[in-house]
Amino acid sequence: MTVASPDVALDPDRPGDVAVYWRVSRLDGLEFLRATFRTHAYAPHTHETYAVAAILDGCETFRHRGERRYAPTGSVAVVCPDELHDGEPFGEAFEYRTFYPSVALMREIAEDITGRAVPHPPWFERSVIDDPELATAITGLHAVLAPERTPASVLEQDARLIAVLGRLVARYADLATPPPVRRESRAVRRARELLDARFAEEVELIDLARTAGLSRAHLIRAFRRETGLTPHAYQIDRRFRAASRLLERGEAPGAVAAACGFCDQSHLNRVFKARMGVTPGAYRRAGGR
């Protein structure tokens, strides 16, 4: 079953930003987003999945792996799991089609292609791929799985999905080289692990610094240098990811806000929309539960 959120203007005071999100339950909840953004800018965030986007019109710019990237019309942008990124229009606007395949699905595709077990999930060195043919194939995949379309047969849907991911992995994934290991000091690792465990709690900087064995100022500098985020921004990112999981299970936004440490539902709305492009309510409704 495919369930969609309605078209959602990201802000009534900023017309023209529209996003439609849906999830395909029978494909392990594979998520899809189509959007036109003129003024909306994503806050820096991470996903547990890959993010694969075909740019239909205009140009998206995003910061990824410490550099500013530009994805023009006909290109495909790829972000691997747990990688920090943002995104906004470069110029007047951009339109894109995005989907979020899981690590398990991408690994399965890689093993289908190679005919053997792969030692690690596919790694993509390039953030932006100039491949209009692949971008068109991604658009076609969106079309056969779009919620408002007369449903295509599941066989057609599956064939399109396997063809798109197979082409992406076969042409551009590095299956021989392990993904780069994030360089992380013991001090920052300790601080990050504390925030992972206590993401929903109020954590004082002095306690975090004591755990890391650094001064507060030194911790903030080191944490940002190694993760790309301040400790506070990292905690917000973990709250966003936890909220995503609860909303996907059908939990009400108010309860999710309380469970994940947000001040209130309005705070959750602002954080979630800035990172996902749709409201928590739209994301929850697309869960089909």
Task: State whether CATH 3.40.47.10 applies to domain 186-285.
Answer: no
pLDDT tens profile 18-42: 899 999 988 888 999 999 999 999 9
DSSP sequence for the chain: -EEEPPPEES-TTSTT-EEEEEEEGGGTTEEEEEEEESS--EEEE--SS-EEEEEEEEEEEEEETTEEEEEETTEEEEE-TT--EEEEEEEEEEEEEEEE--HHHHHHHHHHHHTS--SS--EE--SEEE-HHHHHHHHHHHHHH-TTSPPPPHHHHHHHHHHHHHHHHHHHEESSSPPPPPP--HHHHHHHHHHHHTTTS---HHHHHHHHTS-HHHHHHHHHHHHSS-HHHHHHHHHHHHHHHHHHTT--HHHHHHHTT-SSHHHHHHHHHHHHSS-HHHHHHTT--
User: What's the whole-number mean pLDDT along residues 180-207?
Assistant: 93
pLDDT of residue 133: 97
* Four-way CATH pick for 2-174: 2.60.120.10, 3.20.20.140, 1.10.3470.10, 3.30.565.10: 2.60.120.10
Amino acid (1-letter code) at residue 228: G
User: What's the whole-number mean pLDDT along residues 145-158?
Assistant: 81
Locate the domains of the chain by residue range. 2-174, 186-285
The single residue listed with the structure tokens 């990824």 is: 64
Angstrom distance (rounded) from CA 111 to CA 273:
35
pLDDT of residue 5: 40
For the entire predicted model, the pTM comes to: 0.90
pLDDT at 289 exceeding the cut of 80: no
The two beta strands, 2-4 and 42-45, are unpaired
Q: How many CA atoms lie within 13 A of 194 on its CB side?
A: 20
pLDDT of residue 182: 78
User: What's the whole-number mean pLDDT along residues 223-232?
Assistant: 95
pLDDT tens profile 70-120: 999 999 999 999 999 999 999 999 999 999 999 999 999 999 999 999 989
pLDDT at 260 exceeding the cut of 60: yes
Mean pLDDT value across the chain:
91
